[in-house]
Amino acid sequence: MIRNISQEEVFDLFFDLIIDIEMGDHFDKTNESHLKWLEQKVSRRFGCGAIFYGYFDTDKAPIGIGSVVIEDHPIFQGYSELLDLGVIPKFRGLGYGTKLVQHAEHLSRDAGLFCMYISTYAGDEIAISFYTKCGYTPVAVLPDVNGPKDEGKLYLRKRLYRDRE
């Protein structure tokens, strides 16, 4: 079951996972600035209108998380952007990540949007393989967003109304 979750639930139910998504191995639980940055990051996401949602099993145990911003527009057909996506390690490889992406696509289609964007670390081969399998095509790389010794950020896009072109 997928349902929307609050800012508190992001941390209460998906604490280790949101760390994995946003900071990976760089996160240091003993470093206060890391936690503060993460809380601000999630707070800013809510502030810009992101919808956070969680996937739960039949016992209501958390499985995975996603968040999406619906960039609708009164004139243009608009786009959405998937911001956070992750599945708790023991549930990976079982199709939950795909279902979480599809949920954001459903919300985007319901809003009449043309396409959905996703960005990830350009050196993350697993994420790129996963998003490609979900139907996303690489469209741009932003170099140096994390400094000079970094692969940068890769944007991928999927057209949601391919049949209307």
Residues that bind ligand COA in the complex, under the rule CB under 6 A: 20-21, 85-87, 92-98, 120, 126-127, 129-130, 133
Helix pair 7-22, 32-47: axis angle to 10 deg: 120
Nearest approach, Cβ of residue 103 and ligand COA (Å): 12
Nearest approach, Cβ of residue 136 and ligand COA (Å): 11
3-state SS string for 20-32: HHHCHHHCCCCCH
Which CB atom, from 32 or from 125, has the smaller least distance to ligand COA? 125
Which CB atom, from 79 or from 96, has the smaller least distance to ligand COA? 96
Which CB atom, from 76 or from 132, has the smaller least distance to ligand COA? 132
Positive/negative CA dihedral, 34, 83, 92, 7: positive
Q: Can you list the alpha helix ranges (DSSP code H) found in 48-114? A: 96-110
Which CB atom, from 79 or from 86, has the smaller least distance to ligand COA? 86
- The residue behind tokens 């470093």 is 31
Nearest approach, Cβ of residue 143 and ligand COA (Å): 18
